[in-house]
Structure 1
Amino acid sequence: MTLSLSIPSDTAPETFSFADDGRTPNNRLPVLVYRDLGTAGEITAEAFETVFAANAWPPQWRGGVFAYHHFHSNAHEALAVFSGQAELVLGGEAGQPVRLAAGDVVILPAGTGHCRISASADFELTAAYPAGYGDWDICKPGETDHDRAAARIAALPTPAIDPITGAEGALAQLWG
Protein backbone atom coordinates (compact mmCIF):
# COMPACT_ATOMS: atom_id res chain seq x y z
CA MET A 1 0.00 0.00 0.00
CA THR A 2 1.41 3.40 -0.97
CA LEU A 3 0.73 6.15 1.52
CA SER A 4 0.60 9.74 0.43
CA LEU A 5 1.72 12.67 2.51
CA SER A 6 -0.81 15.26 3.53
CA ILE A 7 1.11 18.54 3.47
CA PRO A 8 -0.68 21.82 4.22
CA SER A 9 -0.03 24.51 1.58
CA ASP A 10 1.06 26.92 4.34
CA THR A 11 3.95 24.67 5.43
CA ALA A 12 6.92 27.04 5.69
CA PRO A 13 10.45 26.02 4.70
CA GLU A 14 13.76 27.19 6.10
CA THR A 15 15.68 29.29 3.57
CA PHE A 16 19.38 29.60 2.80
CA SER A 17 20.97 32.04 0.36
CA PHE A 18 24.38 31.73 -1.25
CA ALA A 19 26.32 34.17 -3.41
CA ASP A 20 28.41 33.28 -6.43
CA ASP A 21 31.85 32.38 -5.05
CA GLY A 22 33.66 32.49 -8.40
CA ARG A 23 33.71 28.68 -8.71
CA THR A 24 30.09 27.77 -7.89
CA PRO A 25 27.52 30.18 -9.36
CA ASN A 26 24.78 29.42 -6.83
CA ASN A 27 21.58 31.37 -7.48
CA ARG A 28 19.81 34.57 -6.44
CA LEU A 29 16.88 32.31 -5.44
CA PRO A 30 17.04 30.79 -1.95
CA VAL A 31 17.41 27.11 -1.15
CA LEU A 32 14.23 25.83 0.55
CA VAL A 33 14.34 23.13 3.24
CA TYR A 34 11.11 21.57 4.46
CA ARG A 35 11.52 19.70 7.76
CA ASP A 36 9.76 16.73 9.33
CA LEU A 37 7.17 16.07 6.62
CA GLY A 38 5.09 13.05 7.50
CA THR A 39 5.18 10.57 10.34
CA ALA A 40 6.62 7.08 10.68
CA GLY A 41 5.05 4.94 7.98
CA GLU A 42 4.27 7.96 5.78
CA ILE A 43 7.89 8.74 5.00
CA THR A 44 8.42 6.57 1.95
CA ALA A 45 9.96 7.16 -1.45
CA GLU A 46 6.59 6.47 -3.04
CA ALA A 47 4.80 9.02 -0.83
CA PHE A 48 7.28 11.77 -1.75
CA GLU A 49 7.21 10.77 -5.43
CA THR A 50 3.40 10.99 -5.43
CA VAL A 51 3.57 14.54 -4.06
CA PHE A 52 6.31 15.51 -6.53
CA ALA A 53 4.38 14.10 -9.51
CA ALA A 54 1.13 15.79 -8.42
CA ASN A 55 3.00 19.12 -8.40
CA ALA A 56 4.58 18.73 -11.87
CA TRP A 57 8.04 17.73 -10.61
CA PRO A 58 8.37 14.19 -11.99
CA PRO A 59 10.60 11.96 -9.85
CA GLN A 60 13.77 10.89 -11.69
CA TRP A 61 15.90 8.67 -9.47
CA ARG A 62 16.59 7.33 -5.97
CA GLY A 63 19.93 7.11 -4.19
CA GLY A 64 22.21 9.50 -2.32
CA VAL A 65 24.21 12.66 -2.90
CA PHE A 66 27.68 12.67 -4.45
CA ALA A 67 30.57 13.13 -2.02
CA TYR A 68 32.08 15.85 -4.22
CA HIS A 69 31.03 19.45 -4.79
CA HIS A 70 28.79 19.87 -7.81
CA PHE A 71 25.84 21.83 -9.13
CA HIS A 72 23.34 21.67 -11.98
CA SER A 73 23.28 24.53 -14.47
CA ASN A 74 20.21 23.50 -16.43
CA ALA A 75 17.67 22.33 -13.82
CA HIS A 76 16.33 23.06 -10.36
CA GLU A 77 16.31 19.97 -8.10
CA ALA A 78 14.18 18.65 -5.22
CA LEU A 79 15.62 15.97 -2.91
CA ALA A 80 13.34 14.16 -0.42
CA VAL A 81 15.01 12.07 2.29
CA PHE A 82 12.98 8.94 3.02
CA SER A 83 15.54 7.00 5.06
CA GLY A 84 18.45 7.81 7.37
CA GLN A 85 20.25 11.10 7.70
CA ALA A 86 23.13 13.00 6.13
CA GLU A 87 25.12 16.18 6.38
CA LEU A 88 25.50 18.14 3.16
CA VAL A 89 27.43 21.30 2.41
CA LEU A 90 25.26 23.68 0.40
CA GLY A 91 26.53 26.72 -1.48
CA GLY A 92 29.88 25.49 -2.75
CA GLU A 93 33.22 24.55 -1.25
CA ALA A 94 33.02 27.28 1.41
CA GLY A 95 29.30 26.79 1.89
CA GLN A 96 27.16 25.91 4.89
CA PRO A 97 26.70 22.47 6.44
CA VAL A 98 23.03 21.40 6.59
CA ARG A 99 21.81 18.26 8.31
CA LEU A 100 18.94 16.37 6.66
CA ALA A 101 16.94 13.44 8.02
CA ALA A 102 14.06 11.23 6.90
CA GLY A 103 11.07 13.47 6.27
CA ASP A 104 13.14 16.46 5.07
CA VAL A 105 13.06 17.92 1.55
CA VAL A 106 15.61 20.33 0.10
CA ILE A 107 14.83 22.33 -3.05
CA LEU A 108 17.97 23.54 -4.79
CA PRO A 109 17.72 26.30 -7.37
CA ALA A 110 19.93 25.64 -10.39
CA GLY A 111 23.57 26.50 -9.73
CA THR A 112 23.46 25.74 -6.00
CA GLY A 113 26.50 23.77 -4.94
CA HIS A 114 25.93 20.63 -2.91
CA CYS A 115 28.11 17.83 -1.55
CA ARG A 116 27.59 14.97 0.91
CA ILE A 117 29.96 15.20 3.88
CA SER A 118 28.62 12.25 5.88
CA ALA A 119 25.61 9.92 5.89
CA SER A 120 24.14 7.06 7.84
CA ALA A 121 24.33 3.64 6.22
CA ASP A 122 20.58 3.76 5.51
CA PHE A 123 20.55 7.26 3.94
CA GLU A 124 18.36 7.38 0.82
CA LEU A 125 16.45 10.03 -1.05
CA THR A 126 14.35 10.49 -4.12
CA ALA A 127 14.99 13.31 -6.59
CA ALA A 128 12.69 15.30 -8.85
CA TYR A 129 13.03 18.11 -11.38
CA PRO A 130 10.41 20.47 -12.86
CA ALA A 131 8.50 18.93 -15.77
CA GLY A 132 10.59 19.22 -18.93
CA TYR A 133 13.93 19.54 -17.10
CA GLY A 134 14.85 15.91 -16.42
CA ASP A 135 18.01 16.07 -18.55
CA TRP A 136 20.14 17.73 -15.85
CA ASP A 137 23.89 18.15 -16.03
CA ILE A 138 26.59 17.65 -13.39
CA CYS A 139 28.99 20.58 -13.11
CA LYS A 140 32.04 20.63 -10.85
CA PRO A 141 33.67 23.82 -9.53
CA GLY A 142 36.95 24.42 -11.33
CA GLU A 143 36.07 22.01 -14.15
CA THR A 144 33.02 23.79 -15.59
CA ASP A 145 33.13 27.07 -17.49
CA HIS A 146 31.71 29.31 -14.77
CA ASP A 147 30.43 32.09 -17.04
CA ARG A 148 28.66 29.71 -19.43
CA ALA A 149 27.07 27.86 -16.49
CA ALA A 150 25.94 31.18 -14.95
CA ALA A 151 24.34 32.16 -18.27
CA ARG A 152 22.42 28.83 -18.45
CA ILE A 153 21.26 29.31 -14.85
CA ALA A 154 20.07 32.88 -15.52
CA ALA A 155 18.08 31.70 -18.56
CA LEU A 156 16.12 29.04 -16.66
CA PRO A 157 12.50 29.83 -15.92
CA THR A 158 11.27 29.77 -12.35
CA PRO A 159 8.94 26.80 -11.79
CA ALA A 160 5.33 27.81 -11.29
CA ILE A 161 4.61 25.08 -8.74
CA ASP A 162 6.32 24.19 -5.45
CA PRO A 163 7.14 20.45 -5.55
CA ILE A 164 5.87 20.01 -1.98
CA THR A 165 3.11 22.54 -1.32
CA GLY A 166 1.77 23.16 -4.83
CA ALA A 167 0.85 26.27 -6.78
CA GLU A 168 0.18 28.47 -3.76
CA GLY A 169 3.20 27.23 -1.82
CA ALA A 170 6.43 28.79 -0.64
CA LEU A 171 8.24 28.48 -3.95
CA ALA A 172 5.79 30.86 -5.63
CA GLN A 173 6.20 33.31 -2.76
CA LEU A 174 9.98 33.05 -2.36
CA TRP A 175 11.04 32.40 -5.95
CA GLY A 176 8.28 34.33 -7.71
Structure 2
Amino acid sequence: MQIPQPETLYFDSDETNGFPNSPLPVLIYRQVLDISNAEERANNFENMLKRHGWPPAWRYHLYDFDHFHSTAHEALGIFRGQARARLGGPNGHELMLYAGDVLVLPAGVGHASLEADDDFCMVGAYPPGQDPEIERGDPTQLAAAQSRVASVALPKNAPVGGPLEPLWGQDS
Protein backbone atom coordinates (compact mmCIF):
# COMPACT_ATOMS: atom_id res chain seq x y z
CA MET A 1 0.00 0.00 0.00
CA GLN A 2 1.34 3.41 -0.93
CA ILE A 3 1.28 5.89 1.96
CA PRO A 4 -0.83 8.92 1.02
CA GLN A 5 0.39 12.47 1.59
CA PRO A 6 -1.70 14.20 4.24
CA GLU A 7 -3.28 17.61 4.18
CA THR A 8 -1.95 19.75 7.05
CA LEU A 9 -3.58 22.35 9.27
CA TYR A 10 -1.84 24.51 11.87
CA PHE A 11 -3.48 26.08 14.91
CA ASP A 12 -2.12 28.76 17.20
CA SER A 13 -2.95 28.73 20.88
CA ASP A 14 -6.45 30.04 21.62
CA GLU A 15 -5.75 32.00 24.79
CA THR A 16 -9.28 33.44 25.02
CA ASN A 17 -10.85 29.98 25.27
CA GLY A 18 -7.94 28.13 26.91
CA PHE A 19 -7.09 25.75 24.06
CA PRO A 20 -3.32 25.13 23.79
CA ASN A 21 -3.45 23.63 20.29
CA SER A 22 0.05 22.75 19.01
CA PRO A 23 2.92 23.97 16.87
CA LEU A 24 2.68 20.53 15.17
CA PRO A 25 0.21 20.27 12.28
CA VAL A 26 -2.98 18.25 12.25
CA LEU A 27 -2.61 15.58 9.55
CA ILE A 28 -5.63 14.71 7.41
CA TYR A 29 -5.31 11.62 5.26
CA ARG A 30 -8.15 11.30 2.76
CA GLN A 31 -9.58 7.96 1.63
CA VAL A 32 -6.93 5.78 3.26
CA LEU A 33 -9.25 2.77 3.04
CA ASP A 34 -11.61 2.39 0.09
CA ILE A 35 -13.79 -0.42 1.40
CA SER A 36 -17.58 -0.30 1.21
CA ASN A 37 -18.28 -2.52 4.25
CA ALA A 38 -18.08 -0.41 7.45
CA GLU A 39 -17.27 -3.33 9.76
CA GLU A 40 -14.46 -4.49 7.48
CA ARG A 41 -13.18 -0.90 7.24
CA ALA A 42 -13.18 -0.61 11.07
CA ASN A 43 -11.25 -3.87 11.41
CA ASN A 44 -8.76 -2.79 8.76
CA PHE A 45 -8.25 0.58 10.48
CA GLU A 46 -7.61 -1.18 13.78
CA ASN A 47 -5.10 -3.55 12.16
CA MET A 48 -3.34 -0.68 10.35
CA LEU A 49 -3.13 1.49 13.49
CA LYS A 50 -1.82 -1.40 15.58
CA ARG A 51 0.76 -2.34 12.91
CA HIS A 52 2.17 1.22 13.01
CA GLY A 53 2.38 1.46 16.80
CA TRP A 54 -0.92 3.18 17.59
CA PRO A 55 -3.00 0.58 19.46
CA PRO A 56 -6.73 1.08 18.87
CA ALA A 57 -8.58 2.10 22.04
CA TRP A 58 -12.24 2.53 21.09
CA ARG A 59 -14.98 2.77 18.47
CA TYR A 60 -17.25 5.76 18.98
CA HIS A 61 -18.46 9.05 17.54
CA LEU A 62 -16.84 12.50 17.91
CA TYR A 63 -18.03 14.47 20.94
CA ASP A 64 -20.21 17.46 20.09
CA PHE A 65 -18.29 19.81 22.39
CA ASP A 66 -14.88 21.40 21.91
CA HIS A 67 -12.25 19.44 23.81
CA PHE A 68 -8.59 18.47 23.64
CA HIS A 69 -6.12 16.00 25.12
CA SER A 70 -2.99 17.54 26.64
CA THR A 71 -1.49 14.15 27.54
CA ALA A 72 -1.76 12.22 24.26
CA HIS A 73 -1.65 12.45 20.50
CA GLU A 74 -4.74 10.93 18.86
CA ALA A 75 -5.48 9.12 15.59
CA LEU A 76 -9.07 8.88 14.36
CA GLY A 77 -10.05 6.48 11.56
CA ILE A 78 -13.52 7.23 10.22
CA PHE A 79 -15.13 3.95 9.27
CA ARG A 80 -18.80 4.91 8.87
CA GLY A 81 -20.74 8.03 7.89
CA GLN A 82 -19.55 11.60 7.64
CA ALA A 83 -19.32 14.62 9.93
CA ARG A 84 -18.69 18.33 9.87
CA ALA A 85 -16.04 18.89 12.52
CA ARG A 86 -14.26 21.86 14.01
CA LEU A 87 -10.54 21.74 14.84
CA GLY A 88 -8.60 24.23 16.93
CA GLY A 89 -11.26 25.07 19.51
CA PRO A 90 -14.33 27.33 19.43
CA ASN A 91 -12.69 29.78 16.99
CA GLY A 92 -11.16 27.02 14.87
CA HIS A 93 -11.48 25.66 11.34
CA GLU A 94 -14.39 23.56 10.04
CA LEU A 95 -13.88 20.56 7.77
CA MET A 96 -15.73 17.51 6.55
CA LEU A 97 -14.67 14.01 7.58
CA TYR A 98 -15.69 11.03 5.47
CA ALA A 99 -15.58 7.25 5.82
CA GLY A 100 -12.06 6.14 4.89
CA ASP A 101 -10.32 9.29 6.24
CA VAL A 102 -7.75 9.37 9.05
CA LEU A 103 -7.17 12.40 11.25
CA VAL A 104 -3.99 12.71 13.35
CA LEU A 105 -4.33 15.25 16.16
CA PRO A 106 -1.23 16.42 18.02
CA ALA A 107 -1.72 16.70 21.77
CA GLY A 108 -3.54 19.92 22.66
CA VAL A 109 -5.52 20.45 19.45
CA GLY A 110 -9.18 21.18 20.06
CA HIS A 111 -11.79 19.16 18.20
CA ALA A 112 -15.58 18.75 18.12
CA SER A 113 -18.38 17.43 15.95
CA LEU A 114 -20.71 20.17 14.69
CA GLU A 115 -22.99 17.89 12.69
CA ALA A 116 -22.80 14.18 11.89
CA ASP A 117 -24.71 11.34 10.27
CA ASP A 118 -26.59 9.26 12.83
CA ASP A 119 -24.31 6.32 12.11
CA PHE A 120 -21.01 8.30 12.10
CA CYS A 121 -18.33 6.26 13.86
CA MET A 122 -14.54 6.20 14.23
CA VAL A 123 -11.73 4.08 15.59
CA GLY A 124 -9.61 6.03 18.08
CA ALA A 125 -5.98 5.23 18.89
CA TYR A 126 -3.10 6.62 20.94
CA PRO A 127 0.62 5.86 21.06
CA PRO A 128 1.61 3.39 23.80
CA GLY A 129 1.82 4.93 27.25
CA GLN A 130 -0.24 7.98 26.30
CA ASP A 131 -3.59 8.24 28.09
CA PRO A 132 -5.92 11.05 27.01
CA GLU A 133 -7.65 13.29 29.50
CA ILE A 134 -10.70 15.10 28.14
CA GLU A 135 -10.24 18.82 28.71
CA ARG A 136 -12.64 21.56 27.63
CA GLY A 137 -10.43 24.64 27.69
CA ASP A 138 -9.87 26.92 30.65
CA PRO A 139 -7.92 30.14 30.17
CA THR A 140 -6.73 30.01 33.78
CA GLN A 141 -5.19 26.58 33.16
CA LEU A 142 -3.73 27.29 29.71
CA ALA A 143 -0.07 27.50 30.80
CA ALA A 144 -0.30 24.16 32.63
CA ALA A 145 -1.99 22.54 29.58
CA GLN A 146 0.70 23.96 27.27
CA SER A 147 3.38 22.50 29.53
CA ARG A 148 1.75 19.05 29.42
CA VAL A 149 1.38 19.25 25.61
CA ALA A 150 5.08 20.14 25.21
CA SER A 151 6.10 17.07 27.21
CA VAL A 152 4.12 14.49 25.17
CA ALA A 153 6.57 12.18 23.36
CA LEU A 154 6.47 12.05 19.58
CA PRO A 155 5.74 8.58 18.19
CA LYS A 156 8.17 7.20 15.64
CA ASN A 157 5.59 6.22 13.01
CA ALA A 158 2.54 7.88 11.54
CA PRO A 159 -0.61 5.83 12.22
CA VAL A 160 -1.02 5.13 8.48
CA GLY A 161 2.65 4.18 8.06
CA GLY A 162 5.93 5.88 7.37
CA PRO A 163 7.95 8.08 9.70
CA LEU A 164 6.06 10.77 11.58
CA GLU A 165 9.03 13.04 12.30
CA PRO A 166 9.26 14.64 8.82
CA LEU A 167 5.50 15.33 8.80
CA TRP A 168 5.68 17.01 12.18
CA GLY A 169 8.79 18.99 11.31
CA GLN A 170 11.07 17.00 13.55
CA ASP A 171 13.45 15.51 10.96
CA SER A 172 15.87 13.05 12.52
Could you list the structure 1 runs, at least 4 aligned residues long, displaced by more than 2 angstroms after superposition: 40-43
Q: 2, 23, 27: which is aligned to 1:8? A: 2
Q: Does 1:30 align with 2:30?
A: no
Q: TM-score, normalised by structure 1?
A: 0.89
Partner of 1:66: 63
SS at match of 2:165: helix
- Of residues 69-78 and 33-42 in structure 1, the stretch that sits farther from structure 2 once superposed is 33-42
The letter of the residue matching 1:38 is L
In 2, are the aligned partners of 1:58 and 1:128 still within 8 Å (CA)?
Answer: yes
Partner of 1:17: 10
**Any idea what the Cα deviations from partners look like across 1:109-135, whole Å, max 9, x if unmatched?**
0000001000011100000001121x2
Please report how far the alpha carbon of residue 142 of structure 1 lies from its aligned counterpart in structure 2 after TM superposition.
Answer: 2.4
Taking only the aligned residue pairs, the percentage that are identical comes to 41
Partner of 1:56: 53
Q: 34, 40, 49: which is aligned to 2:35? A: 40
SS at match of 2:104: strand
Partner of 1:162: 158
Instruction: Check 1:143–1:65 CA distance in 2 against 1; reply closer, same or farther (3 A cut).
Output: farther
SS at match of 1:152: helix
Q: Does 1:84 align with 2:109?
A: no
The letter of the residue matching 2:134 is I
Please report how far the alpha carbon of residue 38 of structure 1 lies from its aligned counterpart in structure 2 after TM superposition.
Answer: 2.1
Structure 1 unaligned segments of length 5 or more: list them: 1-6
Partner of 1:146: 142
SS at match of 2:79: strand
> How many pairs does the alignment contain?
165
Structure 2 unaligned segments of length 5 or more: list them: none
The letter of the residue matching 1:73 is S
Q: 113, 124, 130: which is aligned to 1:127? A: 124
SS at match of 1:31: strand
SS at match of 1:67: coil
In 1, are the aligned partners of 2:19 and 2:139 still within 8 Å (CA)?
Answer: no
Q: TM-score, normalised by structure 2?
A: 0.91
Please report how far the alpha carbon of residue 42 of structure 1 lies from its aligned counterpart in structure 2 after TM superposition.
Answer: 6.5
CA RMSD of aligned residues (A): 1.4
